[in-house]
Amino acid sequence: MQKHPFLFALLFACMITQAVPAAADNLRETPIVKAVRKCAPTVVNIGTEQMVQLQQNPFWGQQLGGQMDAFHNNFFQNQAPTAFGKLAIQSLGSGIIVSPDGLIVTNAHVASKASKIFVTLPDGAKSEAILIGTDNENDLALIQIYTKKPLPYLEIANDVIIGETVISIGNPLGLENSVSAGIVSGTNRTFYTQPQIESFKDLIQTDASINLGSSGGALVNLEGKLTGMNMAVMQNAQGLGFAIPAKKIKRMLDEYEKVRKDKKTA
């Protein structure tokens, strides 16, 4: 059979050209990318509303509130106190869907004092949530939303390994599904809100960025399982964040399931 070197070379070049993009795509499909794609739909945005009595604010009299109080005292002395000085404070945080029927775990400091809790799912759907219970000692809260279809949820990891890669998914400053990656820097850490005042024990330390608003978001491993829940970042320190271990979340969910089963059998 007659050989055609030019034709052979052309076919070889075409094969190489087609293989290069595929290889490049494989390089981009890292374990982090795969874990984010799996876990991102389970992290929600949480908005809360809380009524605050502004007269309790030490700066109330120096601001417009002082003028409101003076106006009320001059013209409405014989009437009951009005709503002057009350303000609906709104805040943002993150949460993690932990069951297909709409159970969501977040931080107690995000949800416990809220008069209203709103959840925005990654697809934009919004629901008002109810507070199921809190564990203030571990800064955990369990809330519930109701949907017509099962929701994607995160499985809980069995353990955490110091040095393993972890990914933080949250909503810092309201920016939905922001992602950062790092490693587990340590375990069994204690976080102090003020010097010499012990606050929370047995935390995961990570250098994955945890920013304002991503509190309550997920810290996941490369298997796409929940390692912990973002909690706080140390001020004036780079790469020093803390997360609540997933084992504490599992303990809270187990206790809730036990209570729910007891109510059904009662």
Indicate which residues carry an active-site annotation.
Answer: 109, 139, 215
Six token digits for residue 54: 């502004």
244 close to 231: Cβ distance less than 8 angstroms:
yes
B/e letters for 6-28, b = 16+ CB within 10 Å, e = fewer, are eeeeeeeeeeeeeeeeeeeeeee
Q: How far apart are CA 218 and CA 181, in angstroms?
A: 12
CA distances for 253 relative to 103, 148, 201, angstroms? 9, 22, 19
The alpha carbon torsion through 243, 246, 252, 258 (nearest 10 deg) reads: 170
**CB-neighbour burial class of residue 106 (10 A; exposed 0-12, middle 13-18, buried 19+):** buried
Q: Is 99 helix (H, G, I), strand (E, B) or coil?
A: coil
Measured distance between the N- and C-terminal CA atoms of the chain, rounded to whole angstroms: 87
Q: Name which of 76, 31, 82 is nearest 53 in CA terms.
A: 82
